[in-house]
Amino acid sequence: MMKVMNFDWHRVKVQLVTFLLRNASSLQKLLLVSPNVYPHNVTGIQEADLLLVQEALANGKIILRESDAAATGPFHSEVFLEI
């Protein structure tokens, strides 16, 4: 799971989300914390990017919340490799 705080639907942040959806094969869920649960005045964003985000919302890959829930705390892991 990956969490994006203060997601404001600006073009660059939508591009980041679509990049992750297209390229991060191990990404299971993406939590977007945004004061605007529904995008308003989204100018400059490609239609294909918006459709990808809407599809991910519909199938549960993206979770959109107005506030940060305590249940979604950080998950960190350390990996050590001996060479």
Q: Can you give the three-state secondary structure of the chain, one letter per residue?
A: CEEECCCCCCHHHHHHHHHHHHHCCCCCCEEEECCCCCCCCCCCCCHHHHHHHHHHHHCCCEEEECCCCHHHCCCCCCCCCCC
Q: Where are the domains of the chain?
A: 2-69
pTM for the predicted model, two decimal places: 0.72
Q: What is the pLDDT of residues 21-77, one digit of tens each?
A: 999 988 899 999 988 776 666 677 888 888 898 899 999 999 988 887 655 555 666
According to the model, what pLDDT value does residue 55 have?
93
Q: What is the pLDDT of residues 42-55, one digit of tens each?
A: 677 888 888 898 89
According to the model, what pLDDT value does residue 40 have?
61
Identify whether the C-beta of residue 27 lies closer than 8 Å to the C-beta of residue 20: yes
According to the model, what pLDDT value does residue 68 have?
77
